[in-house]
């Protein structure tokens, strides 16, 4: 559910910054109030908050999303504020803006502010965990074979350094339900397993794992669970405390439609002291124990882009204004329309049709060079930008309309001879 106390709260703070007053006003004036959130007219107004052209429609949220104008404007205005006066005195206000962004984000994703670190992207967050988690010779890490390299190969590198082993789990290509997926991971865990690294929604198949149930099994065996949430933050309504994982990573530049080079690392309060940081920079303090409170010790990374980090709070308010529950429902609706249409065209879906087993990532099978040709022609001839990951990958998001999805399907109809 939307948390009303978050809505526009951050922009009130941004509006207090003279150079950024316009950003606060822009959000209040630009975003439609949710008087009829189920209507296409409403979602067309949301689409208008994004600057992309109709002949170049983005449908690859699994890789990179455009930011709404209010976020882009906040980055520009706050960057200009620094360029006009880069003194430490002027930049002092960014500490409050960052903490306001952290508080709003924590409230929105079911965490506490002290469990949130602002890093640069999912890759950095994943590597913070796999480099900082204590491993000894003979220990075992279990990973899903659909993990991103930063949550898979990085564990191989870490294991090689410390004499640990990595076991890969393969899930069924067409699972019959969540329990079948849970059983796969249950069987993979052994008395030597110290950590389980999984992905909430796969970027190569679109499969959504039953993370809550998997975490329950791991917790019963005192196994640490790290979840790569790159394909979920900004599309699925999250409650990380309820999810039950020990850490969670994501990028602002994907479904969150936030500023570029900003990421999220959540570490559960009881596990923060257990994870060593990857970097120690000014602000850490003068002792082994950091002066930084909670998960902030994982963001001791030296000079940061203050405007970018502050603009995360603008994106938080953008989502709060629309409502995370409404965003999730909209994306699932568009994804279902897309998958149904692909199915009717005779395409072989890699992604499950079930909403329980999928989210916004939609993949149709396509082989080799035909996959690349399909991708390029869909973009050049129909103005739909997807990806050739796992097949033909299309990921509709809140800025896409029903017309965009239907245009993609019309293009696929003309090009279906290239499908597997």
Rounded-to-integer distance, Cα 404 and Cα 351, Å: 20
Of residues 420 and 108, more confidence is placed in 108
Q: Is the pLDDT of residue 104 over 80?
A: yes
**What band does 407 get if pLDDT is binned at 50, 70 and 90?**
very high
Instruction: Give the pLDDT score at 36.
Output: 59
- CATH number (1.10.3720.10, 3.40.50.280, 3.30.565.10, 3.40.640.10) of 101-318 reads 3.40.640.10
For the chain, residues classed under CATH 3.40.640.10 are 101-318
pLDDT tens for residues 221-241? 999 999 999 999 999 999 999
Q: Report the range of poorest mean pLDDT among 45-54, 156-165, 276-285.
A: 276-285
For the chain, residues classed under CATH 3.90.1150.10 are 325-418
Extract the runs of DSSP E, i.e. beta strands, from 316-407: 362-364, 384-385, 392-394
Q: Report the range of poorest mean pLDDT among 9-18, 322-331, 371-380, 398-407.
A: 9-18
Of residues 317 and 32, more confidence is placed in 317
233 secondary structure, DSSP code: B
Here the tokens at position 328 are 């999730």
pLDDT tens for residues 167-197? 999 999 999 999 999 999 999 999 999 999 9
Q: Is the pLDDT of residue 46 over 70?
A: yes
Q: What is the mean pLDDT of residues 40-45?
A: 94
Q: Is the pLDDT of residue 13 over 80?
A: no
226 forms beta bridges with 197, 247
Q: What is the mean pLDDT of residues 302-310?
A: 95
Q: Is the pLDDT of residue 24 over 80?
A: no
Q: Is the pLDDT of residue 406 over 90?
A: yes
The b/e string for 13-43 (b: 16+ C-beta within 10 A; e otherwise) is bbbebebbeebbebbeebbbeeeebeeeebb
Cβ-Cβ contacts under 8 Å for 286 (sequence gap 6 or more): none
Cβ-Cβ contacts under 8 Å for 194 (sequence gap 6 or more): 133, 135, 139, 140, 141, 164, 223, 224
Q: Is the pLDDT of residue 88 over 80?
A: yes
Q: Is the pLDDT of residue 257 over 90?
A: yes
Here the tokens at position 245 are 């994982």
Q: Is the pLDDT of residue 23 over 70?
A: no
Q: Is the pLDDT of residue 26 over 60?
A: no
Q: What is the mean pLDDT of residues 145-165?
A: 97
Instruction: Give the pLDDT score at 6.
Output: 44
Q: Report the range of poorest mean pLDDT among 16-25, 332-341, 385-394.
A: 16-25
Instruction: Give the pLDDT score at 413.
Output: 95
- Fold designation for 325-418: 3.90.1150
Q: Is the pLDDT of residue 37 over 80?
A: no
Q: Is the pLDDT of residue 25 over 60?
A: no
Cβ-Cβ contacts under 8 Å for 83 (sequence gap 6 or more): none
**What band does 7 get if pLDDT is binned at 50, 70 and 90?**
very low
Instruction: Give the pLDDT score at 78.
Output: 97
Q: Report the range of poorest mean pLDDT among 33-47, 104-118, 338-352.
A: 33-47
């Amino acid at each position: 559910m939307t948390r009303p106390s978050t809505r526009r709260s951050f922009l009130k703070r941004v509006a207090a910054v003279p150079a950024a007053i316009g950003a606060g006003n822009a959000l209040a004036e630009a975003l439609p109030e949710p008087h009829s959130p189920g209507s296409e007219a409403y979602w067309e107004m949301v689409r208008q908050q994004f600057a992309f052209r109709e002949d170049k429609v983005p449908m690859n949220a699994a890789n990179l999303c455009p930011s709404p104008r209010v976020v882009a404007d906040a980055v520009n205005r706050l960057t200009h504020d620094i360029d006009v006066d880069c003194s430490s005195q002027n930049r002092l206000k960014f500490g409050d803006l960052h903490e306001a962004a952290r508080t709003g984000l924590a409230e929105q994703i079911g965490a506490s502010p002290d469990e949130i670190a602002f890093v640069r992207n999912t890759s950095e967050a994943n590597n913070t965990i796999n480099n900082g988690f204590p491993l000894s010779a003979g220990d075992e890490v279990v990973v899903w074979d659909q993990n991103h390299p930063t949550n898979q190969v990085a564990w191989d590198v870490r294991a090689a350094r410390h004499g640990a082993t990595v076991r890969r789990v393969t899930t069924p290509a067409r699972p019959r339900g969540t329990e079948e997926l849970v059983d796969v991971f249950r069987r993979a865990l052994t008395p030597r397993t110290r950590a389980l690294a999984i992905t909430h929604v796969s970027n190569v198949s679109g499969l959504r794992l039953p993370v809550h149930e998997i975490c329950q099994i791991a917790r019963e065996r005192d196994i640490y669970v790290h979840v790569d949430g790159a394909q979920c933050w900004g599309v699925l309504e999250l409650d990380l405390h309820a999810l039950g994982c020990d850490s969670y990573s994501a990028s602002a530049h994907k479904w969150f439609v936030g500023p570029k080079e900003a990421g999220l690392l959540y570490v559960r309060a009881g596990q923060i002291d257990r994870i060593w940081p990857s970097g120690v920079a000014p602000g850490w303090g003068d002792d082994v124990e950091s002066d930084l409170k909670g998960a902030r010790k994982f963001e001791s990374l030296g000079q940061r882009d203050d405007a970018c980090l502050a603009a995360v709070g603008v994106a938080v308010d953008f989502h709060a204004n629309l409502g995370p529950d409404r965003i999730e429902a909209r994306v699932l609706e568009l994804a279902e329309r897309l998958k149904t249409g692909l199915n009717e065209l005779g395409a072989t879906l890699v992604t499950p049709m079930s909403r329980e087993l999928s989210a916004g990532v939609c993949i149709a099978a396509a082989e080799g060079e035909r996959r690349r040709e399909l991708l390029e022609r869909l973009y050049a001839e129909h103005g739909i930008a997807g990806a050739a990951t796992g097949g033909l990958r299309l990921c509709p998001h809140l800025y896409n309309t029903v017309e965009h999805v239907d245009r993609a399907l019309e293009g696929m109809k003309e090009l279906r001879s290239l499908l597997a």
